[in-house]
């Protein structure tokens, strides 16, 4: 039991300290955390049994909001960018959500895809506003009014992202075990029963949808600031597919899995992209198939199974035995 | 907009609708029977186009007769259906029918990702252009507008032929009736001795071949480029969703609606060209969530 908790804490500490030992990892980890936040949005929707192929839309909405803010105020302010990006993605999430929560499964996924493709082509076509396929530069913003050097800013961004991720992960964890979180999960298990209880499934899904859009927005702002450029590619369906892939890789429905998956994915991508750039999507596709067919609970599932095996070696067989007969007559 | 431009827009729309219909009808057929939305359908379309353009380019350059263009298209469609569609259904989809919808969608999405890279590995990123079929048939004049015979006559004729023969196949032949029976109720159909596995395989192969045929037909009218599969899957989904999932005749009308909407946008508001299909779909779905011709299904318990 203690080992099960200790390992994640050690892993978190390693992530926090790694940039001190290996400075190159700092940017990679920041990008991974930004993606992890967006993946968390997908994970949230997976709890309701829905998969969205268009959440890169909210990622891009927030990233472009930050870019516009930076352009309007010659550099801009990081806190303002986050607030504005979050606000914009929540607003778009509400607008799109009002429409898509009427649908489930195939329609839900594909309508999200349609919305993101619309946004993608708007970003690309209206180049006098958005810079077209070249995108927009995002200059380094001030942080609560203080101008920062590049190195200092990157360090701050990394630790800021890390703290934000831990805080957000905790909030989402609490959200999922709250009453509305449980109603949200019932959309997957038995939506009819939820309606019988007098609760609107659409409204519940809408709440979750807007939250997930906001998570993607947070990720988008961090990504835009960390990369210093935003392009229409942010809203491309491949981005959305990547987010879904990471969510499944980490373990569908696992909050921690979103970040574990994102960090591993980003690390592999950075190192493998050099010699597998041509077949990268193919590699992802095969991995996705393998995970769905053979390890449907992803990395977190594998970890749990490993821990179960380690614990069952010890001679404390009382707990598992009780679990095996739930509701047996006393 | 004068009469000639109007005629041009209508012709463009009809020609485009014929192509989209070929892809959408396969998508809707597969969904009707397998209850799976095949995201890899766009790849079948693109591979059909690539096969036709590259093989065609090679044999016409070697001096073979241009009339081979049409048989070549059938060949490309058959290759897509049998070589790609068959194994995908047999080896992959068969293992996931019992899984939840989200995972089924992800599996076909994974296949789509794989096939996109396969195309790039085989055919590279440069565009292919092979318009022998288009040039061979020449132009005709209608309402004072010159238009290619291929696009104005052949494509719509082929689409109508496919629509009618598909309808006859499903209603009049034994295999078709078996497909309908499995669509209606797989369990009962299995109970009276229908081999549902075979029906699934047959449907998927036919659906994939239709998408490949659509791509083969399209390759004569446009250059074949990477990414055409992604555009087509979303567009044909828009058609299928507008019509109502599983509605074959409805798909023809929705394809016409979206094709015409798109071509008029090209002449009137070029910036909106890409958006029009989705706007039509969103408008239809706002009013009729199950699509124009869809029926509300009672939930099976």
> Are A184 and A208 contacting, i.e. CB atoms less than 8 angstroms apart?
yes
Looking at residue A1, its pLDDT comes to 53
Looking at residue B196, its pLDDT comes to 82
List pLDDT tens digits, range A249-305. Answer: 887 677 888 888 888 888 877 777 666 767 777 888 888 888 888 877 778 888 888
Percentage of chain A lying above the pLDDT 90 cut: 8
> Are A82 and A142 contacting, i.e. CB atoms less than 8 angstroms apart?
no
3-state helix, strand, coil in chain A (%, to 5): 80, 0, 20
Structure tokens at A8: 């994640």
| Assigned domain for A80 exists | yes
Whether residue A97 lies within 8 A of chain B, CB to CB, comes out as: no
> Are B80 and B208 contacting, i.e. CB atoms less than 8 angstroms apart?
yes
Architecture of the domain spanning B3-287: Orthogonal Bundle (1.10)
Nearest residue to B130 via CA among B191, B186, B48: B48
Residues 6+ apart with CB under 8 A from B35: B97
Given a cut of 50, the residues of chain B with pLDDT beneath it are 299-301
How many whole angstroms separate alpha carbon A138 and alpha carbon A209? 28
| CB atoms closer than 10 angstroms to residue A195 | 13
| Assigned domain for A103 exists | yes
For residue A126, the chain B residues in CB contact (below 8 A) are 271
Residue written as tokens 């079929």?
B133
How many whole angstroms separate alpha carbon B10 and alpha carbon B8? 5
> Are B47 and B117 contacting, i.e. CB atoms less than 8 angstroms apart?
no
| Assigned domain for A300 exists | no
> Are A249 and A265 contacting, i.e. CB atoms less than 8 angstroms apart?
yes
Nearest residue to B179 via CA among B189, B187, B188: B189
Average pLDDT of span A163-181: 88
Whether residue A277 lies within 8 A of chain B, CB to CB, comes out as: no
| Assigned domain for A51 exists | yes
Look up the pTM and report it.
0.81
What residues make up the domain containing A167? 22-235
How many whole angstroms separate alpha carbon B3 and alpha carbon B6? 5
| Cross-strand partners of B147 | B140
pLDDT at A91 over 90: yes
Write the Ramachandran bin of A293: left for phi over 0, alpha for psi from -120 to 50, otherwise beta: alpha
Instruction: Write the residue in A49, A118, A296 that is nearest to B278 by C-beta.
Output: A118
| Assigned domain for A40 exists | yes
Residue A313 pLDDT class (50, 70, 90 cuts)? low
Determine, for residues B110 and A286 on separate chains, whether the beta-carbon distance falls below 8 Å. Answer: yes
CA B233 to chain CA centroid, Å, is 8
Looking at residue B162, its pLDDT comes to 87
Residues 6+ apart with CB under 8 A from A232: A60, A120, A123, A124, A130, A132, A133, A135
Q: Which of A122-136, A219-233, B39-53, B248-262 has the lowest mean pLDDT?
A: A122-136
Residue written as tokens 């019932």?
A186
Whether residue A57 lies within 8 A of chain B, CB to CB, comes out as: no
List pLDDT tens digits, range A190-218. Answer: 888 888 888 887 888 898 899 999 999 99
pLDDT at A81 over 90: no
Whether residue A241 lies within 8 A of chain B, CB to CB, comes out as: yes
| Assigned domain for A322 exists | no
Looking at residue A193, its pLDDT comes to 85
3-state secondary structure of B187: helix
Residues 6+ apart with CB under 8 A from A111: A54, A99, A100, A103, B241, B285
- Torsions phi, psi for A230 (to 5 deg): -120, 140
Angle at CA A299, nearest 5°, toward A298 and A302? Answer: 90
Looking at residue B297, its pLDDT comes to 59
How many whole angstroms separate alpha carbon A240 and alpha carbon A247? 11
- Burial of B124: CB neighbours in 10 Å, binned 0-12, 13-18, 19+: exposed
pLDDT at A16 over 90: no
B19 membership: H or E segment, kind and range: helix B3-34
Looking at residue A212, its pLDDT comes to 92
Structure tokens at A107: 């329609």
Whether residue A278 lies within 8 A of chain B, CB to CB, comes out as: yes
pLDDT at A30 over 70: yes
| Cross-strand partners of B140 | B147
B140 membership: H or E segment, kind and range: strand B139-142
Determine, for residues A50 and B278 on separate chains, whether the beta-carbon distance falls below 8 Å. Answer: no
For residue A105, the chain B residues in CB contact (below 8 A) are 101-102, 105
Whether residue A121 lies within 8 A of chain B, CB to CB, comes out as: yes
Whether residue A95 lies within 8 A of chain B, CB to CB, comes out as: no
Determine, for residues B96 and A292 on separate chains, whether the beta-carbon distance falls below 8 Å. Answer: yes
- So what's the ipTM on this one? 0.78
List pLDDT tens digits, range B105-142. Answer: 888 888 888 888 888 888 877 887 777 777 777 777 77
Percentage of chain A lying above the pLDDT 70 cut: 92
| Assigned domain for A277 exists | no
Structure tokens at A199: 């609760």
Looking at residue A54, its pLDDT comes to 85
How many whole angstroms separate alpha carbon B40 and alpha carbon B43? 5
Determine, for residues B101 and A49 on separate chains, whether the beta-carbon distance falls below 8 Å. Answer: yes
How many whole angstroms separate alpha carbon A211 and alpha carbon B37? 27
- Number of structural domains in chain A: 1
């Amino acid at each position: 039991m203690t080992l099960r908790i200790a390992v994640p804490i050690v892993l978190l500490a390693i992530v926090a300290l790694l940039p001190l030992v290996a400075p190159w990892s700092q940017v990679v980890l920041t990008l991974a955390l930004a993606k992890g936040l967006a993946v968390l949005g997908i994970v949230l929707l997976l709890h309701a049994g829905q998969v969205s192929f268009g959440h890169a839309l909210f990622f891009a909405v927030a990233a472009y909001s930050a870019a516009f803010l930076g352009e309007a105020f010659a550099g801009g302010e990081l806190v303002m960018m986050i607030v504005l990006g979050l606000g914009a993605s929540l607003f778009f999430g509400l607008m799109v959500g009002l429409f898509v929560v009427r649908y489930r499964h195939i329609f839900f996924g594909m309508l999200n895809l349609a919305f993101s493709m619309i946004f993608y082509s708007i970003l690309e076509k209206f180049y006098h506003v958005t810079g077209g396929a070249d995108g927009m530069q995002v200059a380094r913003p001030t942080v609560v009014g203080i101008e920062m050097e590049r190195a200092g800013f990157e360090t701050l961004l990394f630790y800021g992202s890390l703290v934000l991720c831990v805080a957000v992960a905790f909030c989402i964890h609490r959200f999922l075990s709250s009453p509305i979180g449980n109603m949200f999960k019932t959309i997957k298990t038995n939506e009819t029963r939820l309606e019988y209880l007098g609760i609107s499934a659409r409204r519940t899904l809408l709440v979750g949808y807007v939250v997930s859009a906001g998570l993607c927005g947070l990720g988008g702002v961090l990504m835009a600031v960390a990369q210093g450029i935003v392009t229409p590619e942010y809203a491309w369906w491949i981005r959305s597919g990547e987010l879904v892939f990471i969510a499944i890789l980490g373990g569908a429905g696992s909050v921690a899995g979103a970040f574990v998956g994102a960090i591993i994915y980003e690390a592999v991508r950075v190192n493998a992209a050099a010699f597998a750039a041509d077949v990268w999507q193919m590699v992802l596709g095969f991995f996705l198939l393998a995970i769905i067919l053979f390890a449907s609970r992803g990395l977190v599932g594998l970890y749990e199974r490993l821990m179960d095996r380690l614990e069952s070696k010890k001679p404390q067989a009382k707990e598992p035995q009780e679990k095996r007969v739930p509701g047996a007559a006393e | 907009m004068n009469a000639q431009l109007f005629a041009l827009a209508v012709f463009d729309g009809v020609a485009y609708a014929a192509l989209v219909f070929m892809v959408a009808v396969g998508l809707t057929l597969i969904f009707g029977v397998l209850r799976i939305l095949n995201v890899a359908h766009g790849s079948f379309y693109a591979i059909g186009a690539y096969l036709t353009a590259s093989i065609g380019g090679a044999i016409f350059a070697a001096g073979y007769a241009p009339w081979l263009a049409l048989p070549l298209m059938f060949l490309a469609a058959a290759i897509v259906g049998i070589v790609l569609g068959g194994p995908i259904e047999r080896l992959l989809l068969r293992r996931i029918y019992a899984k939840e919808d989200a995972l089924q969608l992800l599996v076909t999405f994974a296949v789509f990702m794989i096939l996109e890279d396969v195309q790039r590995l085989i055919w590279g990123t440069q565009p292919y252009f092979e318009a022998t079929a288009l040039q061979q048939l020449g132009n005709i004049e209608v309402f004072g507008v010159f238009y290619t015979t291929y696009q104005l006559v052949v494509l719509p004729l082929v689409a109508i032929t496919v629509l009618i023969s598909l309808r006859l196949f499903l209603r009049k032949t034994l295999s078709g009736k078996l497909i309908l029976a499995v669509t209606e109720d797989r369990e009962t159909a299995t109970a009276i001795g229908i081999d549902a596995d075979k029906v699934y395989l047959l449907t998927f192969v036919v659906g994939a071949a239709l998408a490949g045929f659509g791509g083969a037909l399209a390759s004569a009218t446009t250059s074949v480029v990477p990414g055409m599969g992604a555009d087509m899957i979303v567009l044909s989904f828009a058609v299928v969703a507008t019509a109502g999932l599983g509605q074959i005749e409805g798909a023809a009308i929705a394809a016409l609606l979206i094709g015409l909407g798109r071509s008029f946008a090209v002449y009137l508001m070029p910036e909106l060209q890409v958006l029009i299909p989705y706007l039509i779909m969103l408008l239809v779905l706002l009013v009729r969530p199950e699509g124009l011709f869809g029926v509300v299904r009672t939930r099976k318990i």
